[in-house]
Amino acid sequence: MASRSGESCDVHQHLWPPTLISALRVRREPPFLRGWTLHLPGEPPYEVNPADHDVADRLELQGDVRALISLSSPLGLEDLPASQAQPLLDTWHQGARELPSGFGAWAAVSRHEPDRSGLAELLHGDFVGLQVPAPWLATPRALEALAPVLRVCEEAGKPVLVHPGAVAQAPVEELPGWWPAVVDYTAQLSAAWWSWHHVGRALLPKLRIGFVAGAGLAPLQHERLTARGGRMGRLDPGVFVETSSYGPQAIDALVRVLGIDAIVRGSDRPYAQPVPLGFGSAADHAIDVSNPQRFLIGGRP
């Protein structure tokens, strides 16, 4: 279910249900878990903290904030061949349904054989919307190819959340652990943002769409866009960015470009933590309560 009126909402968290953890431990090729060590193609092994996926611990940590949980797209489950992807996605949806009332959840689909009728059923149930990996919107043509899936969300009146996806290839050299999040993920989000800017609204006039991590700060490139012959256009009330991994400097810059009505609270917990922005109570209410409500269920600023 969507956030209730007047309720603070974090639109971007991750929590693996026990059934998904078990399914990842059965796999023999990336992505897979060995104990609590996560193996992904293109990234170094990552030691998962078991407490990060403990439901009771998370509920205590978030307090009165409603958390919307999404499948971790960098795992690459949505990109697997459909015969492998769909059972894992079914496991995700089953586990997400079983989370207690302090949570909501984003649906997921297979890239290669997306089940649009199944997605429609999920969206007409308790799932708040659809999360898609940013590489699926890497170019305007890629977005056009994805439009039939996104249209299911538009017709259901549910939003889309664009999240970084799997890294395309293994690095040719050893890189620091922060490299994918700072370099690869922001580049993916930037490409998805500009694909949407170029063709998205014309294709999907009523879709509400949000980009995690400030869309990789792509909106701050509007001056360069104009200098190179592009056009930003008017502010779009159906487009949102969330705040994860950024603080007052970056969010202030995004507000100056997009206005505060486009900013929604997201933390990316457990991989990052909520950051106080210090903009005052009115801004906090907009980012934590009012804007997430409009992102999830619609309405005007």
Query: Tens of pLDDT along 33-72?
Result: 999 999 987 677 889 999 999 999 999 998 899 999 999 8
| 2 pLDDT more than 60 | no
What per-residue confidence (pLDDT) applies to 123?
97
What per-residue confidence (pLDDT) applies to 132?
98
What per-residue confidence (pLDDT) applies to 301?
75
| 1 pLDDT more than 50 | no
For the entire predicted model, the pTM comes to 0.94
Looking at 128-169, list the stretches that DSSP marks H as alpha helix, in order from N- to C-terminal side: 140-156
Q: What pLDDT, in 10s, does the model give residues 251-296? A: 999 999 999 999 999 999 999 999 899 999 999 999 999 999 999 9
Instruction: Give all strands of the β-sheet with 37-39 in edge-to-edge order.
Output: 32-34, 37-39, 46-47
DSSP, collapsed to helix, strand or coil, labels residue 7 as coil
Q: What pLDDT, in 10s, does the model give residues 61-84? A: 988 999 999 998 989 999 999 999
User: Token pair for residue 149?
Assistant: 């899936």
Rounded CA-CA distance 245/259 in Å is: 19
